[in-house]
Amino acid sequence: MACDICSVYSANEAQGGGKGFFAGTAEQFTEFGTLQDDGHAVAGHGEYIHSLVAQIFAGYNFNKYVGVQLNVPFIYRGYGSDLMHASVAGIGDASLVGNFRLFQRSATDWTFAWNALGGIKLPTGDSSKLNTPDSALPDGIGGHDIALGSGSVDGLVGTGFSARWKKLFLNAQMQYAIRSEGSFQHQYANDWTWSGGPGVYLVLNDNYTLALQAVVSGESKGADTFAGVSDEDSAETIVYLGPQISFTWSDELSANLGADLPVSRANTGEQVVPDYRIHTAFTWKF
């Protein structure tokens, strides 16, 4: 599957407060409960994955233009069917990311900022589930779906922007992961994740803000490979739509809560695909 939580999500928040340390958490729960074969729902036997990722991050802004952050995910995945139930849990693959503010302009009624990021993902998660034979798992679930890590060192690049005019705003961000071969000669396909959309500040003053946003988000990846051979049950493109509410207090605290429903679920082969996801994030600057 593509990234559960995109490293780019905190790039704007991390850059917003000038020089200093910041830290926070981000959680995402995704419910996979629909069995699809080449993009079409098929009858199954209750196959499911409950995926919960809690990501802890911390970093330092050297100034208002350059910062660095370390992301460490803790992952729980329950999976099974009507006939079996199992779970895995532990630390996932950590990432070290540099955030760069490329451009910024502001006035009383409007602001605009453009950011970029670049970094690496490190093989800190347990990748042993990649060696699980398909016969030991329910239909539509592969070892690559439940492994906590990849065993590979991967590159991360991304960009994002935010714009405001009076109480209206628009922001968007994307990240591209460049994968290398990992454990058991398995190589995840390069994946692309994105999110963004328009919103309105319900409250906008000097001390705090409250905003509501309509977010379109998604993830897309090609087929993984095993020893150079394509895995036809691994490519997917999922598009979500949902609301997000965001809160900031002074220059120190930012938080958001959102929910997403898939509006398009395209996949190759037989896979369990997502039914919904819920996510939240909290950032503190000090």
What CATH number is associated with residue 57? 2.40.160.40
Whole-prediction pTM: 0.93
Distance (Å, whole) CA 140 – CA 223: 14
Interval 155-209: pLDDT, tens: 999 999 999 999 999 999 999 999 999 999 999 999 999 999 999 999 988 788 9
Domain that holds residue 20: 7-285
Interval 86-144: pLDDT, tens: 999 999 999 999 999 999 998 888 999 999 999 999 999 999 999 999 999 999 999 99
Query: Order of strands across the sheet with 229-230?
Result: 186-187, 225-226, 229-230
Cα distances (angstroms) measured from residue 3 to each of 20, 53, 101, 176: 28, 10, 24, 10
* 17 inside domain: yes
- In the prediction, which pLDDT does 17 show? 55
Q: Which two tokens stand for residue 101?
A: 């503010």
Mean pLDDT on 208-229: 94
3-class state of residue 21 by DSSP:
strand
* 52 inside domain: yes
- In the prediction, which pLDDT does 207 show? 85
74 or 2: which leads in pLDDT: 74
Question: Token match 């196959």: residue?
Answer: 47
Distance (Å, whole) CA 2 – CA 237: 9
- The H or E element spanning position 78 is strand 66-80
Mean pLDDT on 249-276: 94
**Percent of the chain residues topping a pLDDT of 70:** 94
Mean predicted lDDT score pLDDT of the chain: 91
* 2 inside domain: no
Distance (Å, whole) CA 52 – CA 59: 23
Total count of domains within the chain: 1
* 1 inside domain: no
**Percent of the chain residues topping a pLDDT of 90:** 84
- In the prediction, which pLDDT does 4 show? 52
- In the prediction, which pLDDT does 14 show? 44
